[in-house]
Structure 1
Amino acid sequence: MPVALCDLEQSQQLELGDRFITLQQPVARGHKIALNPIAAGKILLNTGYL
Structure 2
Amino acid sequence: MTPLQLEGHACIRCGRAFIPGSTSAPDGYSDDGRQLFACSAGWGCSAELPEEKP
Q: Settle same-fold status: TM greater than 0.5.
A: no
Which structure is larger by alpha-carbon Rg, 1 or 2? 2
- Structure (1 or 2) with the greater helix fraction: 2
TM-score range, shorter chain: under 0.3
- Relative contact order, higher structure (CA 8 A, sep 6+): 1
TM-score normalized by the length of structure 1: 0.24
TM-score by length of structure 2 reads 0.23
